[in-house]
Amino acid sequence: MAYWRRTPRQMQAATDAVAVAPDSAVVQKPPKPRGRMMRQYDLVERVRSYNPDTNEDLLNRAYVYAMKAHGTQTRASGDPYFSHPLEVAAILTGLKLDDATIVAALLHDTIEDTEATRAEIDQVFGHEIGALVEGLTKLKRLELVSREAKQAENLRKLLLAIADDVRVLLIKLADRLHNMRTLEFVPPASRRRIAEETLDIYAPLAGRMGMQEMREELEDLSFHVLDPEAYAVVKHRLDALADRNRNLIGEIESQLSKNLQKNGLAARVYGRRKQPFSIWTKMERKSVGFEQLSDIYGFRIVLGDIEACYRALGVVHTTWPVVPGRFKDYISTPKQNDYRSIHTTVIGPGKQRVELQIRTEEMNQIAEFGIAAHAFYKEGGSPTERLKHESNAFAWLRHTIGILSESANPEEFLEHTKLELFHDQVFCFTPKGKLIALPRNANVIDFAYAVHTDVGNSAVGCKINGKFAPLSSELQNGDEVEVLTSKAQSAPPSAWEALAVTGKARAAIRRATRAAVRDQYAGLGRRIIDRLFARAKIEYADDKLKGALPRLARTSIEDVLVSVGRGELKASDVARAMYPDYKEERLVRYGTRKALAAKAQTPPHPARAASVIPVRGINSELPVKFAPNGGAVPGDRIVGIVTPGEGITIYPIQSPALKDFEDEPERWLDVRWDIDETMPQRFPARILVHNVNEPGSLAQIATVIAEHDGNIDNIHMSRRSPDFTELTIDLEVYDLKHLSAIIAQLRAKAVVARVERVNG
Ligand code: MN
């Protein structure tokens, strides 16, 4: 196991740290490996364990040189600065790298941050190490200087800087890994930027170099910083699952081993669970929930040679049912980054879907260490020499750098590279040139939320490469996207949630629409309370309500308002909680049909108009619906009836159904139409048509309605007599005038004997 994987104790600490409720907004501290600083002999011991011929003197000199050079410098954490290059070197011993790499890691910050010079390092440690340290110094300067420059340019320079010696990249990745592990001590703003850069550039680069473990840890640490809530949710559920399946992994491991052994195959079998970030991206990519993910656990079967791998595959396939479509042979056809393995999925012990990776020890090393594995696995030649001959990843790197030297500008370079490096992402730019990396298939909504939640919430339109485009447009590599926002839009349409591809956008939309709906309920609750208090001539005061919260079993005023708005709490109960001697005024039948009908004749008093609830039609975020038997159309005088848990039902004032609510004045609401003239919307109405039974009469009626732009939703026919049929027609019209026009046209038809409107 590589050194950089945490020890079991650290894993446990990490688990404990995030074992909180998944909906907790608390930002968890990332797991951090702490403890005493490594000593000189620890480092030498680590190197000696895989390289008996190590030059101990060289390592010791570098240790002392770096320690002296950094002197009393400290890191953001307060630790001595020297602890950082030391940890970076230690990470690289996990990759079993050569002395020059370990020494360069110890020295990697000396030229930039101390009195040390290239010439001196060349003199003391030789030209090879001097060149490595200088390569890293260039990279560091790149980070400092061009923080605001386009990331495409940065990536280009980064790749150019590592062109001379790929070990620079390995040290740089280890450097970034250690910085990510200790990121909590860095100010929040730069923390985010570093995490973004890690996720955009370094993690994919590690993956592209075949260093999967490195990539996973970089991704997870970044994910933790960039989306702590999502991280906590996934981690929490992974832990819960691990708890539930505590014995299952061991059982599957031992059954697999036993079966292979029975067939004369010596194999190392171990299960490992996937990391939160890879689970999260899988959930995003496939739009599936956690429960639907079958491959949270992967098992590795590591064998002696390739022949044993195929025999093991045979054993597995004859022992357990195979899940079709999941078999892949990367041994005969390696991936571009040198990855080799056989993949298959079976229904294993306990009817559990088990994802298996079958490979040799060497393949396993390459799968974990990628390009670094080549540096130590084979004998002979310098590490870079070996890389040149054996590594596809290295070939890719050379190829990419080749393109680099030919492309005129960074964008063009990115155009060439990104598809290869980041094949599952698209790269787009803000008008200011900031690079936004998104998963493939992402659209402008995702882009807007990736820029900023506020930009997403207020997005109303966009320009892609200067042209107006719908927000749902799928983005292509290199698109320049300008998001147009409007202050008037306080919350995004809830339908966006289904359009967004990224979890970040979806979660933000859900949060914003939930908050908007809650606001509306609170507003509604406030109006209901205001009205009851005005009617009862008692005074409302926030302070007074605050004191009554325990009696109402609510924790905040807003909670009370929302509950009243939702109809879960009666306004009269609120009044009683505030004024224990409050008595409901049953005598004032304010809300009766007569009273309201009378009131409806007079225009609302300006002072009262504020408490009238606007009905925007059926698209309102508040659950507003129309009377089930007939509906209501603009132009009708309307009344709202609150139904607990369901919302508001709108009735025309003349509806006979209102009689049923006469004894419950607290359920009556003043409502008014609030129709946007520029956006014609249809509303439900019902008419009853008596027509003469003759061939084609129904067709004539339907034609009249259609010709006058009425939408027929439903027709119910019942024959009343041999001569007449009664038709109940549900239709959708724009308003009362529209409905009246249709009725008048129907009446003009000879086949129509009588038409009347049905009210709720
Ligand atoms: Mn460093």
The CA R_g of the chain, rounded to the nearest whole Å, is 35
CB contact at 8 A, 209 and 373: no
What is the pLDDT confidence band of residue 314, given thresholds at 50, 70 and 90?
A: confident
Examine the domain organization and report whether 350 and 204 are in the same domain: no
156 CA distance to ligand 1 middle (Å): 20
Read off the pLDDT of residues 202-236 as tens digits, 9 standing for 90 and up. Answer: 887 887 777 888 889 999 999 999 888 888 888 88
Read off the pLDDT of residues 252-264 as tens digits, 9 standing for 90 and up. Answer: 888 889 989 998 8
Residue 713 has pLDDT above 60, yes or no: yes
310 CA distance to ligand 1 middle (Å): 44
Examine the domain organization and report whether 171 and 278 are in the same domain: no
Of the segments 70-79, 332-341, 471-480, which one has the largest average pLDDT value? Answer: 70-79
Q: What is the CATH number of the domain that holds 367?
A: 3.30.460.10
Examine the domain organization and report whether 102 and 188 are in the same domain: yes
376 CA distance to ligand 1 middle (Å): 24
Domain-located, residue 125: yes
Distances (CA, A) of 540 to 310, 523, 571, 587: 79, 15, 12, 22
Active site residue 243: no
Q: What is the CATH number of the domain that holds 164?
A: 1.10.3210.10
What is the pLDDT confidence band of residue 121, given thresholds at 50, 70 and 90?
A: very high
Q: Which of 43, 182, 159 is nearest to 102 (CA)?
A: 43
Domain-located, residue 41: yes
Examine the domain organization and report whether 176 and 322 are in the same domain: no
Examine the domain organization and report whether 291 and 186 are in the same domain: no
CB contact at 8 A, 492 and 514: no
Residue 85 has pLDDT above 90, yes or no: yes
148 CA distance to ligand 1 middle (Å): 20
Q: Which residues are registered as beta bridge partners of 647? A: 643
Per the structure, the complete domain to which residue 716 belongs is given by 683-757
Q: Which of 79, 112, 120, 474 is catalytic?
A: 112
The helix or strand, by DSSP H or E, that contains position 651, with its residue range, turns out to be strand 647-652
pTM given for the model: 0.49
7 CA distance to ligand 1 middle (Å): 23
| Amino acid 2: pLDDT | 38
274 CA distance to ligand 1 middle (Å): 28
Sole residue written with tokens 């259609």? 706
CB contact at 8 A, 202 and 218: yes
Sole residue written with tokens 């022992």? 319
Examine the domain organization and report whether 69 and 132 are in the same domain: yes
Q: Determine which of 16-25, 356-365, 686-695 has the lowest per-residue pLDDT on average.
A: 16-25
Name residues with Cβ closer than 5 Å to ligand 1, which is an ion. 109, 175
Q: What is the CATH number of the domain that holds 750?
A: 3.30.70.260
Examine the domain organization and report whether 209 and 101 are in the same domain: yes
81 CA distance to ligand 1 middle (Å): 9
Burial of 65 (0-12, 13-18, 19+ CB in 10 A): buried
Please give the average per-residue pLDDT across 482-508, as a whole number. 85
560 or 24: which leads in pLDDT: 560
CB contact at 8 A, 127 and 100: no
Domain-located, residue 723: yes
730 or 676: which leads in pLDDT: 730
Read off the pLDDT of residues 410-447 as tens digits, 9 standing for 90 and up. Answer: 555 555 444 445 445 677 778 876 767 787 789 999 99
Give CA–CA dist 511/760, Å, rounded: 36
The whole-angstrom distance between residue 717's C-alpha and the CA centroid of its chain comes to: 51
Domain-located, residue 390: no
Examine the domain organization and report whether 142 and 19 are in the same domain: yes
Domain-located, residue 675: yes
Domain-located, residue 79: yes
140 CA distance to ligand 1 middle (Å): 8
Examine the domain organization and report whether 59 and 186 are in the same domain: yes
Domain-located, residue 423: no
Q: Which of 221, 255, 276 is the last residue of a domain?
A: 221
Domain-located, residue 561: no
175 CA distance to ligand 1 middle (Å): 5
Distances (CA, A) of 532 to 573, 601, 737: 11, 22, 34
Token pair for 153 = 């340019």
Examine the domain organization and report whether 697 and 673 are in the same domain: no
Please give the average per-residue pLDDT across 95-116, as a whole number. 91
98 CA distance to ligand 1 middle (Å): 19
218 CA distance to ligand 1 middle (Å): 15
Active site residue 196: no
Read off the pLDDT of residues 614-653 as tens digits, 9 standing for 90 and up. Answer: 565 444 556 677 888 888 888 888 888 887 767 788 898 8
Cβ atoms < 10 Å from Cβ of 284: 20
Give CA–CA dist 225/236, Å, rounded: 16
94 CA distance to ligand 1 middle (Å): 17
Q: Which of 211, 202, 223, 366 is nearest to 282 (CA)?
A: 223
What is the pLDDT confidence band of residue 176, given thresholds at 50, 70 and 90?
A: very high
Q: Which of 221, 248, 276 is the last residue of a domain?
A: 221
How many domains, the chain? 4
Q: Which of 624, 659, 679 is the last residue of a domain?
A: 679
392 CA distance to ligand 1 middle (Å): 28
Examine the domain organization and report whether 721 and 609 are in the same domain: no
Examine the domain organization and report whether 183 and 126 are in the same domain: yes
Please give the average per-residue pLDDT across 334-355, as a whole number. 79
Q: Which of 45, 56, 79, 113 is catalytic?
A: 113
CB contact at 8 A, 632 and 673: no
